Amino acid sequence: MNKLLIYPMALTFLHFDFAGTDESAFCINWRKETKGVFIIVVIGVEALLTFVLGAVVGSFLNVCIWRIPEGMSIIAPASHCPSCGHPIRFYDNIPLVSYLILRGRCRACGTRISLRYPFVEVLTAVMALLVYWKFGLTLKFLAAFIFVSALILITFIDIDHQIIPDVITLPGIPICFCMAIFIMKLSFMEALLGVLIGGGSLYLIALIYELVTKREGMGGGDIKLLALLGAFLGWKSLLFILLVSSLVGAVVGISVMMIKGSDMKYAVPFGPFLSFAAVAYLFVGEYAVNLLLYHQL
């Protein structure tokens, strides 16, 4: 159930016309108005809490993006300034707020804090809102938000290091598989074929690419990532994901080459484009597939 559908309904209640002058009609209008205001308040509070939750998770993702490729623990030690090693106090570690208060600088040494940190926090918070808009506060929200958070994590690690760590994808595939079947209500076969075709198709493309160009083009990480995406979204999503990610990846890749003037060897990580396409499918995939196949919405 899409809760935001209630929003315009609530607004109509608010603008209810006081045409009837007798007391009973007034009472009915008054009750509807109260209900409308109540629904708007509930949605507002839920959306606000979702945004805050997203920002907090985003803050945690920043830690993971930094530490997982280094093989460090994501729990200990506590956060500290990468420049001067000064431990970051809890009141300087509030997502978004602290960055604004400190004006993007470390309290101890004044070194600039990368804009990346608040960016990831805002991105995760906005994603949480989108998932809330799509699923409401349901178990599906939880599953989809875990999925999207994992993709944000993978995207930024891939941008920084051109790797997609097995520590994320290998446990991620069975977790996404179970969430797809038990929470997202995909059929067992849809999810299973998603893993097999997802992993298999990209493996085949990588194999052919290597045979033709004698060069490794696609990392094993991408193959496991597509298997993970197929597990959560089902095999029907795979064509959409491959098409959209290749298209966006080609446009961005060519632009990067034109700007940097580098040759074909410059490696643009593919993980972010796969992740982008998967999130796009999560939100608009059904409409896009219906539009393409049946020319109707």
Q: Distances from the Cα of 225 to the Cαs of 46, 84, 128, 145, 235, in angstroms? A: 32, 36, 21, 17, 14
User: Which range of residues in 108-116, 220-228, 235-243, 265-273 is near Zn ion by CB under 5 A?
Assistant: 108-116
Of the candidates 106, 151, 241, 282, which one interacts with Zn ion according to CB under 5 A? 106
Q: Is 84 in the site for Zn ion (CB under 5 A)?
A: yes
Q: How far is the CB of 108 from Zn ion (least distance, A)?
A: 5
Least Å distance, CB 85 to Zn ion, is 7
The answer to whether 6 and 43 have CB atoms below 8 angstroms apart is yes
The yes or no reply on residue 83 touching Zn ion (CB under 5 A) is: yes
* Minimum CB–partner distance for residue 82 and Zn ion (Å): 8
Q: DSSP for 259-276?
A: HH---TTSPPPSHHHHHH
SS3 112: strand
Number of residues that bind Zn ion (CB under 5 A): 8
Cα(109)–Cα(123) distance, rounded to whole angstroms? 27
Q: Would you call 87 helix, strand, or coil by DSSP?
A: strand
225 scored as a contact of Zn ion (CB under 5 A): no
Distance CA 135, CA 179 (A): 14
42 touches Zn ion by CB under 5 A: no
Q: Rule CB under 5 A: say whether 81 interacts with Zn ion.
A: yes
Residue 81: which of 114, 119, 34 has the closest Cα?
A: 114
* Residue 105 contacts Zn ion per CB under 5 A: no
Q: Which is nearer to Zn ion, 8 or 85 (CB)?
A: 85
**Closer residue to Zn ion in complex, CB, 31/112:** 112
Instruction: Tell me if 113 contacts Zn ion by CB under 5 A.
Output: no
Closest contact distance (angstroms) between CB of 83 and Zn ion is 5
Are 141 and 183 contacting, i.e. CB atoms less than 8 angstroms apart? no
Rounded to the nearest whole angstrom, what is the least distance from the CB of residue 102 to Zn ion in the complex?
A: 10
